[in-house]
Each structure stands twice: as C-alpha cells, then as structure tokens.
A = this chain, B = another copy of it.
Amino acid sequence: MSRPGIRQVAARAGVAVGTVSAYLNHPDRVSAERARRIAEAIDELGFVPSSAGRQLRLGVSSLIGYLSPDVSNPHFSEIAQEVEYRAERLGMTVFFAHSHGDREREDAYLEAFEQRQVRGILVSSFQPIEARLAAMRDRGTPSVLVGRRARDELQPSVSIDDVSGGRQAGEHLIANGCRRLAFVGGPLPVQQVADRLEGVRSAAAAASVDAPEVIEVAERSIAVGRAVGAALAARSAAERPDGVFAANDVLALGLLQALVAGGVAVPGEVALVGYDDNEFAEASLIPLTSVRARHDDFGAAAVDLLFESIEHGASPRADGTAAQRVYEPELIVRESSRRAH
C-alpha cells in the first residue's frame, strides 16, 4: 500500500500539484478557498508532507541547474522561487547561474553545469540558444527553455503568449480612452519584446487607433525607464502619449516615478501598463496595472517537464515533437491605468 503523495492531494482538492506545493511551503500565497480544500484533502488522505530537509538530503545527487539572465528583475527571482519549491518536492536541488544576457556567459555556464554533471538544465534566454541546447541533449543533458517558445520542435519549453499579453495591454488602454499609445521596450530583436509590441500594435489596428509610437531602449531597467519618463514629461501634452505600455515592470516603475516627478498625472494624463506583475508593481504608491504570467504554475511546469525528461528520457509526444507549454497571461488592472472618461 503506497502512502498518498502530493499528486493525490492535488487531485482530491481539485488543484494543480504546484498549488499544493505552494500551500505546504507558503500557505499565505494560496487563496483561502484553495487552502481549505487542500487542508481537507490532506486530512482525508492522511497525507504526511516530507520535511524539506529530508528530501533535500535524498536529492543531493539530483542536482539541476537554472541559467537565467539575472535576478535583479524580480520577475526572475519570483520564477526562481517557484522552481526551487517544486524541485525540492521532487527531491531535486537547484544551482543557479546568471548570464546577464551575454551569449558567451551562457555558453560558459552551460559548460560548467555539464561538467558538474547536473541531471538537467532550465534555461531562460533572450537569444537563439536552441542549437546549443540540442547539442547538450545529444550528450545526455536534457533542458527546458523557460520564458520563450523554443524554435526547435524537439526542445521542450514553457512560455507565455506575449502577443496576447501585449494585445490585452493595448485593448485595455484603448478601452480607458487612450488614443495616442506608446510602447517602451527593447532591444527589439528580443523575441519576448517583439511579441509584446506585435500584440499592442494589433490591438491598435483592430480599434482603428494610430499605431503605437515605439520608444526603443537598450536595457529594461528602472534607470532606463526613469530616463524615458523624464523625456516624456518634458514634452507638451499634445505631443505626449496618453497611454504607455512598458515591456516590463521595472521599466514601468522608472517611467512612473519620472512622469509623476515631472508633474504628469498618472493615470489622468498618462495611463501606464507594465508587464510581469512583480510584487513591487503591486506595492507601488500608484499600484501598477500589469500583465501577469501565472508564476506558480509556470515555474512548476518547467520543473515538471525537466523532471519528465530526466526520469523517462526525452519522451516525445505521439507526433515525435517535444512538449511546449504556452501560458495565456492575464491583465491585472490597478490604479495606474484606470480612468473615468
């Protein structure tokens, strides 16, 4: 008779495995209703959660790596946490390395991971890296691309539909009366950025609103957002966009500060939407509307796909291709874009 596991608890409670994991590690992150259902399922099944420590000791030989651009963007640190919780539950430990978006660093760290014989690697990258991952796969190290759909049908990936996210942002701004849209983001060759721009463009076209002004930036940081915000504040009201969609929240937070400091009312004169829905966006004095990837499921799904490849080999689907999960993002509307009109 096998002891009930986290999967049985999830099934009984009617929630995702990741939600049970979140409940066990961070009960305050789970809605009261879900927490109640999970607690009931645990009682009914007599489920005994293993201590994290015990699982970790078992898991020392099951090391996985996560290579991400960097963690100064809270979006990545939030995904990192979900990855850790999920991996721990599966008895795996995680080492992190940061590429800072540099292709040479990516290669160096992937090599370091392989040399250290990790069992699999999660990779977030802004650049084409599929060929490198295919070579690693041939040498026996599976990987999952996180945050961008792989352009190699044999490469598993977990991503957000960024075109849809951009479209939702654009539709929302237009519904709130904005007619002069701007998109702040870059570099434009980065797929995630290009997709978000494509989305907001399609929303404008569908509503017969002028195409958004594109303000391309070299880096998606608070400092850059602040510089763009100051430049926008210096424009005359007629020349200024009345709805701004930023490619991520840290850019948006910089924009918000500089616009308000420059005497521009948000959302009154400029409605503002970010992307990622990080916790600083929510905690801002003018809380920021943002497009949210569902982090819980997202990080957990990446680990699950990797675990599958590690345990069962590449496990292609019936048609021979790898699993590529694409999540539909959700617009979280807050004060920065909500206007009466």
Contacts and interface: CB of A to CB of B under 8 A. Distances in A.
Nearest to A59: B108
5 contacts: A53-B102, A53-B105, A56-B105, A96-B98, A223-B279
Interface string A42-70: 00000000011100110110010100001
A93 B109 contact: yes
Nearest to A225: B283
Contact of A97 (B94, B280, B287): B94
A283 B60 contact: no
Contacts of A52: 102, 104-105
Given A28-B223, A285-B286, A104 B56 contact: yes
A13 B131 CA distance: 43
B111 A60 contact: yes
Nearest to A96: B96
A133 B260 CA distance: 49
A74 interface: yes
Interface string A277-296: 00110011111000000000
A269 interface: no
B108 A93 contact: yes
A82 to B, nearest CB: 11
Given A53-B104, A56-B105, A104-B56, A81 B77 contact: no
A65 B116 CA distance: 13
Chain A interface size band reads: 35 or more
A158 to B, nearest CB: 20
Contacts of A210: none
Give the top 7 A-B pairs by smallest Cβ distance, nearest first: A53-B104, A56-B108, A285-B285, A96-B96, A71-B77, A95-B95, A71-B71
A254 interface: yes
Contacts of A223: 28, 279
Contacts of A81: 70, 72, 98
A97 B95 contact: yes
Interface in A145-176: none
A216 interface: no
Given A112-B95, A223-B28, A104 B51 contact: yes
Given A71-B80, A222-B280, 17 more contacts: A51-B104, A52-B105, A53-B107, A56-B104, A56-B108, A56-B109, A57-B108, A59-B108, A63-B116, A71-B71, A72-B77, A84-B98, A95-B96, A116-B116, A226-B283, A280-B280, A285-B286
A257 interface: yes
Contact of A222 (B57, B93, B283): B283
